[in-house]
Amino acid sequence: MDMLFVALILALVFGLFGLIGVVSSLERN
């Protein structure tokens, strides 16, 4: 596997989790 591809996948996964965290924290307020 290409390291750039792995880095892109990790960035997408962390970005998705970050977005979910922001949305859930906004819904609590």
Q: What is the pLDDT of residues 6-24, one digit of tens each?
A: 999 999 999 999 999 999 9
Q: What is the count of structural domains for the chain? A: 1
Domain that holds residue 17: 1-29
DSSP letters spanning 10-27? HHHHHHHHHHHHHHHHHH
More confident residue, 3 or 29: 3
Q: Look at the alpha carbons of 5, 8, 14, 15 in this order and tell me if their dihedral is positive or negative.
A: negative
What's the half-sphere exposure (Cβ side, CA atoms, 13 Å) at 27? 6
pLDDT score for 5: 97
What was the pLDDT predicted at 6?
Answer: 97
29 or 23, which is more confident? 23
